[in-house]
Amino acid sequence: MEIMKSLLFAFVLLSNLFGEDSFITKSEYGEQLYKKPRGIGCSNCHGKGGSGMKITSYLHKKKKKEIIAPSIRFLSAKKIEEGVNKHPSFVPKYFLVEDEYKSLEAFLEKK
């Protein structure tokens, strides 16, 4: 009986470690990347779900100027990659791979 108990225990332990719960979907990975890529989070500028936001405003020759991070929802992985690589110079550089852009796409269209 003890043996059965420890087998059951081992099974439960293993299925918790390797069960389906421990795998994340593309969109969940995209969410993690979006919030905390290797660098400053996209969410700091593009808002929580990628809907865009005003980063700051300033006066230039007495005219009010705004810096806006546009909405990036529903963009294809390719477009996200292009946008990230065309960021203005005040945005840190990111070195993401194709799969990561696809995960971001999955997250940003589900949000």
| Residues at the interface with ligand HEC (CB under 6 A) | 37, 40, 42, 44-46, 55, 67, 69-70, 72, 75, 80, 83-84, 87-88, 91, 94, 104
Residue at token pair 């421990």: 22
Q: Nearest distance from residue 38's CB to ligand HEC, in Å?
A: 9
Tell me which residue of 41, 44, 85, 49 sits closest to 67, measured CA to CA: 44
Q: Nearest distance from residue 24's CB to ligand HEC, in Å?
A: 18
Within 8 A by CB and 6+ apart from 91, the residues are 45
Evaluate whether 73 touches 109 at the Cβ level (below 8 Å): yes
Q: Which is nearer to ligand HEC, 8 or 67 (CB)?
A: 67
Q: Which is nearer to ligand HEC, 23 or 90 (CB)?
A: 90
Distance CA 94, CA 62 (A): 34
Q: Nearest distance from residue 28's CB to ligand HEC, in Å?
A: 16
Residue number of the CB atom closest to ligand HEC: 83
